[in-house]
Amino acid sequence: MARVTVLATAVVLAFLTAALVKEVAAKKWTVGDNKFWNPNINYTIWAQGKHFYLDDWLYFVYERNQYNVIEVNETNYISCNSNNPIANWSRGAGRDLVHLNETRHYYLISGNGGGCYGGMKLAVLVKKPPPPPAAAPSKIKNSASRTFTVSGLALQFVIPVAVFAAIGTMQLW
């Protein structure tokens, strides 16, 4: 009876922890950090050294009456031309989320009021998430999927927690 309880506790904890860690894994980047989406910021420098992975988000915060977030191709990114947009990510509130759901380059500019000429242009390369950490079980070593990374991380949390729960439950019995 006690053993069943321990097992059930461990399974439930495994699911809860996996869900929790998965949520944390996709990153939401606030573009420009505390300077947000504004002119006179070099977003090439902002993006330097950052790794953007599939299913991350870019969060643009800006003055909604002056700027916007328009996705263009590389040519139009270089020339600040927003007349042939690939996508208009502006929703009107000056708070826009761009879901990076494809592994490719994204070119985002502000097409309003010369924002792009003032430096409001961001290019990011979205990559596949890195392979799971070495500590993960060996049977998943062929996969680069973030789901498996999560499992690897989850185990690191779940095992100590499950042991702790098991000790607690056994004392009850």
Ligand X SMILES: *[C@@H]1O[C@H](CO)[C@@H](O)[C@H](O)[C@H]1NC(C)=O
Phi, psi of 95 (to 5 degrees): -140, 95
CB of 55 vs ligand X, minimal distance in Å: 10
CB of 153 vs ligand X, minimal distance in Å: 25
Q: How many Cβ atoms sit within 10 Å of the Cβ of residue 148? A: 19
* Beta carbon nearer to ligand X, 9 or 118: 118
* Beta carbon nearer to ligand X, 62 or 151: 62
CB of 83 vs ligand X, minimal distance in Å: 7
* Beta carbon nearer to ligand X, 11 or 44: 44
SS (H, E, C) 48-73: CCCCEECCCEEEEECCCCCCCCEEEC
* Beta carbon nearer to ligand X, 87 or 163: 87
CB of 96 vs ligand X, minimal distance in Å: 9
Task: Tell me if 54 sits within 8 A of 129, measured CB to CB.
Answer: yes
Residue nearest to ligand X as judged by C-beta position: 84
* Beta carbon nearer to ligand X, 76 or 149: 76
User: Which residues of the chain form contacts with ligand X (CB under 6 A)?
Assistant: 42, 44-45, 68, 70, 73-76, 84, 88, 90-92, 101-102, 111, 119
Distances (CA, A) of 115 to 31, 69, 78, 81, 166: 15, 10, 13, 11, 59
CB of 31 vs ligand X, minimal distance in Å: 15
Question: Which amino acid makes up residue 7?
Answer: L
Dist. CA 22–CA 5, nearest whole Å: 26
Dist. CA 163–CA 167, nearest whole Å: 6
